[in-house]
Amino acid sequence: MTAANAEVHRHLGNWQDWVHHTLILTGPEGCGKSTMAAAFETESGGLCLDDASEHEDTELFHLWNRANSEHKPLLLLSSKLVSEWGINLPDLKSRLAASLHLEIGPPDQAMINGLFQKYFAMRGLTISEDALRYLEKRMVRSYAMVRQLAQKMDALAIESKKPVNLAIAKSALVFLDDDQKVDI
Q: Is residue 57 part of a domain?
A: yes
| pLDDT of the residue at 183 | 38
Does residue 78 lie within any of the structural domains? yes
Whole-number pLDDT of residue 151: 95
Nearest to 76 by CA among 104, 96, 98, 56: 96
Q: Containing domain of residue 84, as a range? A: 6-103
Number of domains within the chain: 2
Give me the sheet containing 22-26, strands edge to edge.
47-49, 74-78, 22-26, 100-103
Could you tell me if residue 134 is inside a domain? yes
Element (H, E) at 47: strand 47-49
Domain assignment present for residue 1? The answer is no
What does 86-140 look like in DSSP terms, one character per residue? ----HHHHHHHHTSEEEE-----HHHHHHHHHHHHHTTT--B-HHHHHHHHHHS-
Return the CA Rg of the chain: 20
**Residue 184 pLDDT level (bands cut at 50, 70, 90):** very low
CB 173 within 8 A of CB 139: yes
Residues 123 and 176 in one domain: yes
- The residue-averaged pLDDT of 132-143 equals 93
Last residue of a domain, one of 103, 124, 144: 103
pTM comes to: 0.84
Position 177 scores a pLDDT of 75
